[in-house]
Amino acid sequence: MIGKMICLQSSSYREFLTEKKAPIYSRMIVIMAGVIYGIMGIYANAGFIASFESELLRNVAVPFIFILFGLFSVWLTRLGLAVLLWAGARGFGGPGNIGDLNRGAAVALIPGLLAIPGLTGAGGGLLTWAGVIVALIWMYFICVKIHETTQGFQGWKAYTSVFAVFVFFASIYYILVPPGL
């Protein structure tokens, strides 16, 4: 079902939202993505981690902190995306349904795994940027499907509401990220 959602099959979104285990699946997606983000952070900072003299720090504590940071970052991103999708829905006259948006937001994070090398500094160059761009476009279309399913938006309304959400999200990101990164 989640695979069909990733492939943008409209009926799978309604099926997912009516599934009793959808909250569990959403949490599992967040945990999986968070651990992957943490592992990529470890990979990107391997030289820094290796510089610690204490074996306990080098092999346990610091990697554990990276994994926790990955989990927190993905959880916070899901929460932020859900709130922004809610705001976009309400701004365009939808009912909101924050619970459905929150569960759907977890699925929207899956394509974001393509952007992790760019976000952690583990990769560089054209391929990394291509991954970030593909992830953002794919996430956009998943969020459109989420708005179509949860808000009853069709056509331009779904695309415009999600576009507004992404513009706002990008502006927040621009404000928070230091220049030069």
pLDDT per residue as tens digits for the range 50-70: 998 999 999 999 999 999 999
**For the chain, what are the domain ranges?**
2-176
DSSP 117-163: HHHHTS--SHHHHHHHHHHHHHHHHHHHHHHHHHH---THHHHHHHH
Query: What does the radius of gyration of the chain's CA atoms come to, in whole angstroms?
Result: 18
Distance of alpha carbon 71 from alpha carbon 85, whole angstroms: 21
pLDDT range class, residue 169, cuts 50, 70, 90? confident
What pLDDT is recorded for position 179?
Answer: 62
- Name every residue whose Cβ is closer than 8 Å to that of residue 180 and which is 6 or more positions away in sequence: none
